[in-house]
Amino acid sequence: MSQATPRATPLATPDVRKVADLARLELTESEAVLFAAQIADVLGYVEQLSEVDVTGVEPLMQPLELETALRDDVARAGTPVVDCAPEALDGAYQVPQIL
C-alpha cells in the first residue's frame, strides 16, 4: 500500500464520450479530456485484479446472500409519489412531447 501506485496499461481505453452517452450524460470538451485521463488512471490501477487466481470462485454480489423476500399479494395504501414530479397532470407524469 505504498503511495507510489503502479499504473499498468489498462485492458481497455474506453471512449469516454461513447460510455457517457450510454449513461445519458453530456460532457463538455474539457470534461471529456479530463475524465478520460482520470478514468484511464483508475482502470490502470484496477488492472491488478487480473493477477488474482479466481478459478472456480463464485462472484459475491451481496454479503449476506439472502433469498429474495416475498410478501402476499395484498394491496396496501400507497405513497403519494406523483406529487414529487416536476410536472404532473391527473395523477400522471407529464413530459415534453418527444416523438
Partner 1 sequence: MMKTIREIHDALDAKKASAVELARDFLTRSKADRRGAYLAFCDEGRVLAQAEKADALLKTEGKVPRERLPLLGVPIAVKDALAVQGVPTTAGSRILEGYLPPYTATSVARLEQAGAVLLGKLNLDEFAMGGSNENSAYGPVEHPTHPGRVPGGSSGGSAVAVRAGLCVASLGSDTGGSVRLPASYCGVVGFKPTYGRVSRYGLIAYASSLDQVGPLASNVSDAAAVLRAMSGHDPMDSTSAPRAGVGAIAAPDWSQVRVGVPKEYFIEARGGLQPEVERSIRDALKWYESRGARLVDVSLPHTRHAVAAYYLIAVSEASSNLSRFDGVRFGKRPPAADGARDLADFYKKVRAAFGPEVKRRIILGTFALSSGYYDAYYKRACQVRRLIQRDFLQAFESCDVIAAPVAPTTAFRQGEKASDPLQMYLNDIYTVPVNLAGLPAVSLPCGEDGEKLPIGLQLIGPQFGDERLLGLARAFEEGRA
List the one residue out of 95, 97, 77 whose CA is nearest residue 86. 95
Options 72, 73, 80, 91; binder of partner 1; rule CB under 8 A: 80
Residue 21 touching partner 1 (CB under 8 A):
yes
Q: Say whether residue 91 binds partner 1 (CB under 8 A).
A: no
Largest distance between two CA atoms of the chain:
60
Place of cell 409519489: 81
Cell numbers describing residue 38: 482520470
Q: How far apart are CA 29 and CA 31, in angstroms?
A: 5
What does the binding site for partner 1 look like in residue numbers (CB under 8 A)?
1-3, 5, 11-12, 14, 16, 19-27, 31, 35, 38-39, 41-43, 45-46, 48-50, 52, 54, 57-64, 66, 68-69, 71, 79-81, 83-87, 93, 95-96, 98
